[in-house]
């Protein structure tokens, strides 16, 4: 819980340094993004994330992290290599202004997924996901905590596993790595499925 509070403070500190983006300019730059993420940020492929409505500060941080190498992804590193900070801010503003489409949760996984999302797992020290990502999955954009509701289950699961295995480490104070390390594979699968239908 202490790491979560520290992570929140760090995220709020990053907010003060955020650059203002222009959504109209971002739309002009977004055509290249559409191949993987869809024209409005709603990817049809479950392995590519929906980036619509994720929150401007979160999206800008991810773009900057891809560019700096703080978040490793060969495809995204190539996509952001030629972008300057204003262009990244404009893209973040555009995709943050779009509405995410909601999927459906796997009925067989809803009960466990909802329990983890709403209450965590006290016995293993897993906090409720809603503490940072909100009860409706809309996130906390001021703190740069992304909206999750409606995101592809396959993508959520893949990200939780990369946090669990320390292959993704651009989370403030290792908050997500600490949480994912405490989740079982069954819990990851269930909460990912639940999030896909959350709205």
By mean pLDDT, which of 1-15, 40-54, 89-103, 109-123 is the weakest? 1-15
Mean pLDDT of 91-109: 96
pTM of the model: 0.88
Mean pLDDT of 14-36: 85
For CA atoms 79, 83, 85, 91, the dihedral sign is: negative
Torsion (CA) 97, 139, 54, 37 in degrees, nearest 10 = -130
Residue 176: pLDDT over 70: yes
Asked if 27 and 74 count as a contact pair (C-beta separation under 8 A), the reply is no
Rounded Cα distance between 70 and 88, Å, is 16
Q: How does the average pLDDT of the chain come out, rounded?
A: 93
Residue tagged 């990817």 (tokens): 43
* pLDDT band (50, 70, 90) for residue 19: confident
């Amino acid at each position: 819980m202490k790491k979560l509070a520290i992570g929140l403070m760090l995220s709020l500190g990053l907010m003060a340094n955020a650059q203002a983006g222009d959504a109209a300019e971002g739309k002009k730059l977004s055509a290249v993004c559409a191949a993987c993420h869809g024209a409005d940020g709603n990817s049809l492929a479950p392995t590519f994330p929906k980036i619509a409505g994720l929150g401007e500060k979160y999206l800008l941080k991810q773009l900057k992290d891809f560019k700096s190498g703080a978040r490793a992804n060969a495809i995204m590193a190539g996509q952001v290599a030629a972008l300057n900070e204003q262009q990244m801010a404009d893209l973040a503003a555009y995709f943050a202004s779009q509405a995410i489409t909601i999927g459906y949760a796997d009925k067989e996984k809803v009960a466990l997924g909802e329990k983890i999302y709403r209450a965590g797992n006290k016995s293993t020290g897993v906090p409720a996901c809603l503490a940072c990502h909100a009860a409706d999955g809309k996130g906390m954009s001021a703190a740069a905590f992304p909206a999750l509701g409606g995101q592809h289950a396959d993508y959520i699961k893949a990200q939780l596993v990369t946090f669990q295995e320390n292959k993704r480490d651009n989370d403030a104070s290792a908050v997500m790595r600490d949480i994912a390390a405490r989740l079982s594979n069954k819990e990851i699968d269930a909460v990912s499925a639940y999030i896909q239908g959350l709205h």
